[in-house]
Structure 1
Amino acid sequence: MGRAVVTVHPVEPGLHAQFIELWITHRIEGGTTPEAARRLALDGTLRTALQRNDIAAFIAFMDQRPVGYIVIADSTRSLLVVSPCVSVDMLYVVADVRRHGVGRALLAAAARYAERRGAEHIASTVPAQDREANRFFARIGFAAETVRRVTPVAALKRRLGGECPSQRRNLEALLQRRRDVRAAPSRLTRAEPPQIAG
């Protein structure tokens, strides 16, 4: 028996519900609770995003069953060098049909979209810890260009010493008190034992 045929269609209003169900499944696989995923999906943000001119989404079907999607956005490779690029924001394939050509079919749709937009490159941000996704993209010709790192603003400010002086003094005083408390028992054990006259 041959491989099932994969068809890919743009996510137009008639396919929004099927796309959203796949998106919910994707979020749940990523660790979001089903309730939170449904709440996020149904607040209208996804439908609004799908209507933007700089975003395109495609959904894949196998035997009339929705089995994956890709979301791509128009961008540039760099903020300083204007070179049209299409960026893969999300690529998802249902677990039981992976390695059946669904991801390739979705990326082929992205390549056709990029050509129509005059983009010379397609980029994808892949989580560093997702080895399977990294191997997939490497196999089909995506080369590592950068490592994107993310931090909360508050954490960065702390690391750079951006707190106000009073906050820093309070933190240093707290840390010194903790060091003093930890050191106190060891000072007692190192003290000379009392001398007994006799």
Structure 2
Amino acid sequence: MSRSAIALRKVRVEDAADLLALWEEFSRRPADGRDAVEELAQSVRSVLASEDARIVVAEHSGAFAGAVHLSLQTMGPFSTEKAVQISHLRVAPDHRRRGVGRALVEAAVAWAEDLGVAHVGAVSVNSRAGNRFLARLGLAPVAVMRVGPTAQIRAKIPVELPTVVRPVASRPMPPNRQLGQVLAARRSARRQQDPV
């Protein structure tokens, strides 16, 4: 199928069910029925009302083929320079390798050009193929964003700070001495495991 069969359009509220199926991997909670569709429909309404965000939908040969969320943001917390941020870039499995992803990225670049914004950034899922795709288009890694459940992170952080403060050595230990201590500890551990 030719690339000319790809059409881009602004998201519609009626796209919520298709978006939910497409973006299921991005959700941290189960997508269950009408409530999840209505919640996503409300998010679509918010994007449609915003001047700083948009969702672009790709259709391939008339079928829903993919989507991307775009937002206008500052490049960082200490910068006033703006960038168009790509997130939730996803192509439906049946429509991959047909230019749909590239067309969605082109939509981000076109919006950045319309706004006079000099940079486009992308949040990528932890996918080797997705990261390679973005790299081929000239997007270089700047940071890694990690996400985890609050309760799980809380369980790994002590509630109280330690009350004992260890003195800091006045001068660092020479690297060869540190290595010697590590090797001695390993030999000792080996001897305890295999007494000969």
Query: TM (normalized to structure 1)?
Result: 0.69
Match of 1:42 in 2: 38
Aligned residues between the structures = 159
Match of 1:195 in 2: none
Match of 1:131 in 2: 128
Q: Percent identity?
A: 26
Task: Confirm or deny: 8 A CA contact 1:59 1:66 kept in the other structure.
Answer: yes
Shift in Å, 1:122: 1.0
Task: Confirm or deny: 8 A CA contact 2:8 2:58 kept in the other structure.
Answer: yes
Task: Confirm or deny: 8 A CA contact 1:67 1:93 kept in the other structure.
Answer: yes
Q: Decide whether aligned partners of structure 1 residues 16 and 135 sit closer, same or farther in structure 2, where only a CA change above 3 A counts.
A: same
Taking the aligned partners of 2:105 and 2:33, their CA distance within structure 1 comes to 25
1:144-181 per-position Cα deviation (integer Å, ceiling 9, x unaligned): 1111223455555554533389xxxxxxxxxxxxxxxx
Q: Any residues of structure 2 matched to 1:55-66 within 5 Å, and which?
A: 55-66=53-64
Q: Decide whether aligned partners of structure 1 residues 37 and 144 sit closer, same or farther in structure 2, where only a CA change above 3 A counts.
A: farther
Match of 1:148 in 2: 145
Query: TM (normalized to structure 2)?
Result: 0.69
Taking the aligned partners of 1:57 and 1:107, their CA distance within structure 2 comes to 12
Taking the aligned partners of 2:141 and 2:161, their CA distance within structure 1 comes to 39
Taking the aligned partners of 1:86 and 1:112, their CA distance within structure 2 comes to 10
Amino acid at match of 1:118: G
Task: Confirm or deny: 8 A CA contact 2:23 2:90 kept in the other structure.
Answer: no
Taking the aligned partners of 1:113 and 1:120, their CA distance within structure 2 comes to 11
- Unpaired runs of 5+ residues, structure 2, are 163-196
Task: Confirm or deny: 8 A CA contact 2:112 2:118 kept in the other structure.
Answer: yes
Match of 2:165 in 1: none
Match of 1:178 in 2: none
Q: Any residues of structure 2 matched to 1:1-198 within 5 Å, and which?
A: 2-3=2-3, 5-11=5-11, 15-17=12-14, 19-28=15-24, 33=30, 36=32, 38-43=34-39, 44-50=41-47, 51-128=49-126, 130-153=127-150, 156=153, 159-163=156-160
Shift in Å, 1:63: 1.6
Shift in Å, 1:72: 0.5
Q: CA RMSD in A?
A: 2.6
Taking the aligned partners of 2:156 and 2:24, their CA distance within structure 1 comes to 33
Amino acid at match of 1:24: L
Equivalent position SS for 1:42:
helix
Equivalent position SS for 1:120:
coil
Amino acid at match of 2:116: G
Task: Confirm or deny: 8 A CA contact 1:69 1:91 kept in the other structure.
Answer: yes
Match of 1:185 in 2: none
Amino acid at match of 1:70: V
